[in-house]
Amino acid sequence: MTDLECSRAGCRSAATRQVVWRNPRIHAADREKVWLACDEHVDFLRDYLAARDFPVIVRDGVPA
């Protein structure tokens, strides 16, 4: 099994968190999209989505 990597462009670090978001203009309220993030990039990815007014939360851990 390979480690899951951060979704930040160019980053190959192991993911430690999930950045869960949706675009309310096109996604139903129960739809979730997930980006994976390492400790270094979790704030960047969350802020990137929040700046676009997307609902976003951060969950610890990554999918098994």
Q: What is the tens place of the pLDDT at every residue in 7-41?
A: 999 999 999 999 999 999 999 999 999 999 999 99
| Coil/strand/helix, residue 62 | coil
What does DSSP say about strands 56-60 and 33-37: parallel, antiparallel, or unpaired? unpaired
Q: Which domain holds residue 12?
A: 1-64
Tell me the C-alpha distance between 13 and 11, whole Å.
6
Domain count, the chain: 1
| Residue 45, φ and ψ in degrees, nearest 5 | -65, -45
For residue 44, what pLDDT band results from cuts at 50, 70 and 90?
very high
Residue by residue, DSSP assigns 4-41 as: PBP-STT--SBP-EEEEE--TTTS-TT--EEEEE-TTT
Mean pLDDT for 40-60 is: 97
